[in-house]
Structure 1
Amino acid sequence: AARAAPTLPVGFGSHVVPHLAPPKAESVSMTAKIVSSKVKQLQMKERAAAEIERLREENEANARAEKRRLFHSIWASSGQQQQSGHGHEKSMGGKKETQSSLNAGSSSQGTAGFMPAPSPEAARSKLFDDDPSGP
């Protein structure tokens, strides 16, 4: 059941279709103006996109640097608190707790590093909790 190809109406294509007529000089220059303005728009968009990308990268780099500065200042201040608070008496337990809480970042125990270190007596009792024979 092969169908015959559709036939075109008689006279189709024998008359001049206006939009297929050869272009006039003024329409050529108009087209050239439109094309050049579109090219300029695209170039501006490309430049804007490149600038946005550059600013985004710069912003991310600044944010990383700021986080690093904050971390180091917090680290330094927590170390100074520990040293000035207890002189030469530093317990291993307190040190480990401070380090792990700083590494934990935003976890629930993250604030433990910013609390004052426990007294030497409390640290000793913590160290020897599991050993009933104690010192």
Structure 2
Amino acid sequence: MATHWTLGCDAHEPHALAAFWAAALGYVAEPGYDEPDGASIVDPDGSGPAIGFLRVPEGKTAKNKMHIDIRVAGEPPWDLAERARLIRSRAAELVAAGATLVREVSYDDQLGNIIMLDPEGNEFCVA
């Protein structure tokens, strides 16, 4: 049996960052979690890990050592044109929600992923 775990994240504005990631991942606010300096989101189906956001005074100063990949294209084998369309479409939605597009990464002339920043500058990918 796998161990249940929570991803803990530092944040300048934990409630705003939690709202962004809830929208990005299809998560919801954790019922009963009501802290002024923290927020928590959960998978409404109960299968994914919870993600907690705690207020810290310092800002982000370096590249993430770990990041989230949002996988929108499903599992292989892929229709590569449809996969690229799904990735670009989701990236555009996330930009509208407050993310920043950094760059597209291609392998053998095929879109591999898009590197993005969340509203507080944390790197993540859409693949």
Of structures 1 and 2, the one scoring higher in RCO (CA 8 A, sep 6+) is 2
- Whether the TM-score (by the shorter chain) exceeds 0.5 is no
The structure with the largest helix share of the pair is 1
Please report the TM-score for the alignment, with normalisation by the length of structure 1.
0.21
Query: Which structure shows the higher strand fraction?
Result: 2
> Which is greater in Rg?
1
TM-score after normalising by structure 2: 0.22
